[in-house]
Structure 1
């Protein structure tokens, strides 16, 4: 019997767009469950805990278990715990990041931390950014959850982790190590948690620069959906291509067992 595909799928721009369900996303996830296909919902957004995200998705009509959610904050905490168990960090971020670090055994402190960890927040504080710069200058290692320069909101783009990281990098001359997409580390840790192998796994995303990039680097098949950031035209600007381009995940309904039909 041929092994089933395992699915990694981005959240924003693939399953939901801000607070609205992408049409067909509920049927798509229901079909994965009905066919006993393993999946994880991935997000570079480090603001929310899996419990928060489950509640947010339920409000849109999507029922995703906490155990099926993997965030850049969780990947960052797992990475730091493997690098320096029981370490300390000065954190700029919200509950998704601080909770993940606490659960990994980290102490959060402003005094001589091992790391400065920069994540997502809707209210970046200039005083916190200044503190981060001074701690990095004093020797703290610089980690960022993800390199996304902007994030979506109902009013338009918001500066995101990558933009604030660039400010800190310019001030300190120290580049951060990004754990989230497009670092394939996030894909590989997600695959390990599923017990899946890259040759029979795929990544669905709406961004060429993070989702498709990291999927390719992790050795996965990739599907670009056009319900988020990238368009058919912008996708052509990149030196790599997704395995498939589809309008939305609704096109996969009825085809989840064979998402890459020949011809």
Structure 2
């Protein structure tokens, strides 16, 4: 049984635990059994829109128990990074949830020229004026910080444009590369692990370029969850997981998974 080999389990959310408002088959029971075994769980998401409290509420609506301390979002990690670097105030291109996480971390928002940082997240209301102002502030010296650079995220209708599409627009307009916080970069993994040994942890994700690559950089084991309705990934083929699973239930059933 895979679950017996690790003390701490890092789980991507979109595409692993749920897709949209639909809990994936086997997830609820598998997570409950893992808790009963005493496995430490951490939920990681490159979705910068919700606060950690909102992620917990979403999981609970789907019947999955979770606490704020178990959730690591790229929005929260970005807020922590800005606070530690003393980068405030910040101009935010993103959701109200991202703004709330920044505010809770003591990073004040601004629409003015005094911005020390430009933080780019994801929001359906992002417009040309937002991108134009962000690029201007960056050219004036503000630090360009991206919550992540994922080009798409899974939805019931298929892949949808994600933060990376907005980041690319701001990068093109400003001529500046961003500092990226989310997976596969280390900040979220470090926050999830705390003082735990990476060798005692495993990452379960559905993306080779973020989940699996990030785990490998940290020296962690990595499992790729590939659903039956999902097209194989053809990019990042040099990054390989330890095993491929079809659902979280496979963590508790050795015969259901196979080597990559």
TM-score, L = length of structure 2: 0.90
Shift of 1:199: 1.0
Distance 2:125 2:235 in 1: 34
- State the Cα RMSD in Å: 2.4
2:203 alignment counterpart: 203
Change (3 A) 1:161 1:176: same
Match of 2:193 in 1: 191
Q: Is the 8 A contact 2:246 2:257 kept in 1?
A: no
Structure 2 counterpart SS, 1:222: strand
Q: Which residue of 2 aligns with 1:212?
A: 212
Contact 1:208–1:235 (Cα < 8 Å) also in 2: no
Query: What is the Cα deviation at residue 260 of structure 1?
Result: 9.7
1:58 shift after superposition: 2.1
Hey, what's the Cα distance between the residues in 2 that align with 1:17 and 1:223? 18
2-structure distance, mates of 1:157, 1:207: 12
Counterparts of residues 47-126 of structure 1 (less than 5 Å): 47-84=49-86, 87-111=88-112, 112-126=114-128
Report the Cα distance in structure 2 between the residues aligned to 1:44 and 1:189, rounded to whole angstroms. Answer: 14
Tell whether the 8 Å contact from 1:22 to 1:227 is kept in structure 2 after alignment: no
Paired residues in the alignment total 254
Map Cα deviations across residues 124-167 of structure 1 (whole Å, 9 max, x no partner): 12211111111111111100000111223344433211111111
1:181 pairs, out of 175, 180, 183, with 183
What is the CA–CA distance in structure 1 between the aligned matches of 2:228 and 2:9, rounded to whole Å?
18
Bigger mean CA offset, 152-161 vs 168-177: 152-161
5+ residue gaps in structure 2? none
Q: CA separation of 1:159/1:254 partners in 2, compared to 1, >3 Å: closer, same or farther? A: closer
Deviation at 1:202, TM superposition (A): 0.7
Structure 1 partner of 2:14 = 12
Q: Write the deviation string for residues 207-241 of structure 1: whole angstroms up to 9, x where unpaired.
A: 0011001011111100000139975x436861121
Task: Tell me, yes or no, if the aligned pair for 1:207 and 1:229 is still in contact at 8 Å.
Answer: no
User: Matches of residues 128-207 of structure 1 in structure 2 within 5 Å?
Assistant: 128-192=130-194, 195-207=195-207
In structure 2, C-alpha distance between the alignment counterparts of 1:46 and 1:244, rounded to whole Å = 28
Partner of 2:224: 224
Aligned mates of 1:261, 1:51 — CA distance in 2: 35
1:71 CA displacement: 0.2
| Kept after mapping to 2: 8 A contact 1:27/1:253 | no
Q: Specify the SS of the correspondent of 1:117.
A: strand
8 Å CA contact 1:235, 1:241 repeated in 2? no
CA, structure 1 residues 115+237, in 2 after alignment: closer, same or farther (shift >3 Å)?
closer
Structure 1 residues 16 and 261: CA distance shift in structure 2, 3 A: closer
